[in-house]
A and B are shown apart, each in its own frame.
Chain A
Amino acid sequence: MINTNRSKKILLLFLLLLLGFVIFLSVMFVNAFKSRKTPSLYTSETTRAQRGSIISADGFHIATTQKLYKAMVNTRNIDPQKRELFIELFSIYSGISPKEIRSKLKERSGTVVLSYQIDPKRAQYLKSLAFELLQYKVFVEYEGAGGERILQGLSILESGETREYPYGTLLTPLIGYPHKIEDDGYTRVYGVKGLEKHFDETLSAQKEGRQYGLRDVNNYMILNRRSATELPQSGMDIKLTIPVTLQIKLERIVEYFRSDLDANEVSVVIMESQTGRIIAMASSNRFYPKAIRKEDYSSLNTSAIEYSYETGSVIKPITFALLLEKGLVNPYDLINGHNGRFRIDKKVITDEHKMDWMSAEDVIVYSSNIGIAQLAQKLSGLDIYEGFLRFGLTRPSGLELPYERAGVMPTVRQLNHEIYKATVAYGYGIQSNLMQLLKAYNAFNNKGRTINPHVVEGSIDTYGRFFPAEYPPAEQVISAPTAERMKKILIKTVNKGTGVKARTEGLEIGGKTGTAHIAEKGRYVNKYNTSFIGFANDATKLYTIGATVIQPRKTQFASLTAVPAFKAAVDLLIDDGYLHPDPQKFPLPPPEPKH
Chain B
Amino acid sequence: MIDRSLFLTVTFLIAFGVVMSYSLSSYTVIFFEYSEFHFALRQAIFAFGSIFIIWALAQLDPDVWLHRIGMSLFFTGLVLMIAMPFLPSSLVSEVGGAARWIKIAGFSLAPVEFFKVGFVYFLAWSFARKLGHHDNMGLKAEFLRFIPYAAMFVVVMVLIAFIQKDLGQVVVLGLTLAFLLFFAGSSFKFFMSLITASLLFFVFFIFTAEHRIARIKSWWALAQQNVLTVFPESIARHLRIEAVDEPYQISHSLNAIHNGGLFGVGLGGGTFKLGFLSEVHTDFVLSGIAEEFGFLGVAAVTLLFVFIMHRTFRIANRSSSGVYFLFALGIGLLIVFTFMINAYGISGLTPIKGISVPFLSYGGSAMLGSAIGIGMVLMVSKKMERKK
User: How far apart sit A20 and B338, CA to CA, in the bound complex (Å)?
Assistant: 12
B347 lies within 8 A of A24 (CB)? yes
A33 lies within 8 A of B132 (CB)? no
Q: Report A-chain residues with C-beta under 8 Å of the C-beta of B198.
A: none
B contact face: mostly helix, strand, loop, or mixed: helix
A32 lies within 8 A of B313 (CB)? no
Partner of B302 from the list A2, A24, A38 (CB cut-off 8 Å) is A24
Interface check B344, CB cutoff 8 A: yes
Q: Given A6-B317, A38-B258, is A147 in contact with B295 using a C-beta cutoff of 8 Å? A: no
B254 lies within 8 A of A36 (CB)? yes
Interface check A525, CB cutoff 8 A: no
Q: List the one stretch of A48-56, A210-218, A435-443, A582-590 in contact with chain B.
A: A210-218
Q: List the one stretch of B37-45, B204-212, B304-312 in contact with chain A.
A: B304-312
User: How far apart sit A3 and B133, CA to CA, in the bound complex (Å)?
Assistant: 8
Q: Given A10-B316, A24-B347, is A148 in contact with B254 using a C-beta cutoff of 8 Å? A: no
A14 lies within 8 A of B271 (CB)? no
B257 lies within 8 A of A32 (CB)? yes
Q: Given A13-B179, A32-B295, A147-B248, is A1 in contact with B322 using a C-beta cutoff of 8 Å? A: yes
Q: Report A-chain residues with C-beta under 8 Å of the C-beta of B347.
A: 24, 27-28, 31
A34 lies within 8 A of B258 (CB)? yes
Q: Given A2-B322, A23-B349, A24-B340, is A7 in contact with B245 using a C-beta cutoff of 8 Å? A: no
Q: How far is the CB of A407 from chain B (nearest CB, A)?
A: 69
Q: Report B-chain residues with C-beta under 8 Å of the C-beta of A218.
A: 275
B183 lies within 8 A of A9 (CB)? yes
Q: Given A6-B325, A27-B226, is A21 in contact with B302 using a C-beta cutoff of 8 Å? A: yes
A32 lies within 8 A of B275 (CB)? no
Interface check A17, CB cutoff 8 A: yes
User: How far apart sit A3 and B132, CA to CA, in the bound complex (Å)?
Assistant: 9
B27 lies within 8 A of A32 (CB)? no
Interface check A327, CB cutoff 8 A: no
Partner of A33 from the list B261, B299, B317 (CB cut-off 8 Å) is B261
Q: Report B-chain residues with C-beta under 8 Å of the C-beta of A27.
A: 226, 347-349
Q: Report B-chain residues with C-beta under 8 Å of the C-beta of A135.
A: 31-33
Interface check A25, CB cutoff 8 A: yes
B-facing residues in A4-62 (Cβ within 8 Å): 6-7, 9-10, 13-14, 17-18, 20-21, 23-25, 27-34, 36, 38-39, 41
A-facing residues in B288-324 (Cβ within 8 Å): 290, 294-295, 298-299, 302, 305-306, 309-310, 313, 316-317, 322
A14 lies within 8 A of B302 (CB)? no
Interface check A121, CB cutoff 8 A: no
User: How far apart sit A222 and B265, CA to CA, in the bound complex (Å)?
Assistant: 15
Say which size band chain A's interface belongs to.
35 or more
Interface check A146, CB cutoff 8 A: yes
User: How far apart sit A148 and B276, CA to CA, in the bound complex (Å)?
Assistant: 11
- Contact flags B246-268 to A (C-beta < 8 A → 1, else 0): 01100000110111111000000
User: How far apart sit A218 and B271, CA to CA, in the bound complex (Å)?
Assistant: 12
User: How far apart sit A38 and B251, CA to CA, in the bound complex (Å)?
Assistant: 9
B260 lies within 8 A of A41 (CB)? no
Interface size on B, residues (CB 8 A): 52
Interface check B329, CB cutoff 8 A: yes
Partner of B260 from the list A6, A21, A32, A34 (CB cut-off 8 Å) is A32
A217 lies within 8 A of B185 (CB)? no
Interface check B29, CB cutoff 8 A: no
Q: Report B-chain residues with C-beta under 8 Å of the C-beta of A148.
A: 245, 248
B306 lies within 8 A of A21 (CB)? yes
Q: How far is the CB of A555 from chain B (nearest CB, A)?
A: 77
User: How far apart sit A23 and B344, CA to CA, in the bound complex (Å)?
Assistant: 9
Interface check A99, CB cutoff 8 A: no
Q: Report A-chain residues with C-beta under 8 Å of the C-beta of B33.
A: 135
Interface check B343, CB cutoff 8 A: yes
Partner of B245 from the list A1, A23, A41, A146 (CB cut-off 8 Å) is A146
Q: Report B-chain residues with C-beta under 8 Å of the C-beta of A553.
A: none
B262 lies within 8 A of A216 (CB)? no
Q: Given A38-B255, A147-B248, A218-B275, is A28 in contact with B290 using a C-beta cutoff of 8 Å? A: yes
Interface check B336, CB cutoff 8 A: yes
Interface check A378, CB cutoff 8 A: no
Q: Report B-chain residues with C-beta under 8 Å of the C-beta of A24.
A: 302, 340, 343-344, 347, 349
Q: How far is the CB of A372 from chain B (nearest CB, A)?
A: 85
Q: Report A-chain residues with C-beta under 8 Å of the C-beta of B31.
A: 135
Interface check A252, CB cutoff 8 A: no
User: How far apart sit A411 and B33, CA to CA, in the bound complex (Å)?
Assistant: 83
Interface check B128, CB cutoff 8 A: yes
Q: How far is the CB of B244 from chain A (nearest CB, A)?
A: 8
Q: How far is the CB of A2 from chain B (nearest CB, A)?
A: 6
Interface check B274, CB cutoff 8 A: yes
Interface check A149, CB cutoff 8 A: yes
User: How far apart sit A204 and B131, CA to CA, in the bound complex (Å)?
Assistant: 90
Q: Report A-chain residues with C-beta under 8 Å of the C-beta of B132.
A: 1
Q: How far is the CB of A371 from chain B (nearest CB, A)?
A: 89
User: How far apart sit A299 and B31, CA to CA, in the bound complex (Å)?
Assistant: 57
A32 lies within 8 A of B305 (CB)? no
B274 lies within 8 A of A215 (CB)? yes
Q: Report A-chain residues with C-beta under 8 Å of the C-beta of B302.
A: 21, 24-25
Scoring B244, B255, B316 by chain A CB atoms within 10 A of each residue's CB, the highest score goes to B255
User: How far apart sit A439 and B267, CA to CA, in the bound complex (Å)?
Assistant: 73
Q: Report A-chain residues with C-beta under 8 Å of the C-beta of B317.
A: 6-7, 10
Partner of B185 from the list A3, A10, A13 (CB cut-off 8 Å) is A3
Q: Report B-chain residues with C-beta under 8 Å of the C-beta of A36.
A: 254-255, 258
Q: Report A-chain residues with C-beta under 8 Å of the C-beta of B244.
A: 147
Binding site for A on B (CB under 8 A): 27, 31-33, 128, 131-133, 179, 183, 185, 218, 226, 244-245, 247-248, 254-255, 257-262, 271, 274-276, 290, 294-295, 298-299, 302, 305-306, 309-310, 313, 316-317, 322, 325, 329, 336, 340, 343-344, 347-349
Known: A25-B299, A135-B33, A216-B275. 4 other contacts (CB 8 A): A13-B179, A21-B305, A147-B244, A222-B274
**Top 4 closest A-B pairs, CB basis?**
A217-B275, A216-B274, A146-B245, A32-B295
24 pairs, A vs B, C-beta closer than 8 Å: A10-B316, A10-B329, A13-B183, A17-B309, A18-B306, A23-B349, A24-B302, A24-B343, A25-B302, A27-B347, A27-B348, A27-B349, A28-B295, A28-B347, A31-B257, A32-B257, A32-B260, A34-B258, A38-B255, A135-B32, A147-B248, A215-B271, A216-B274, A217-B27
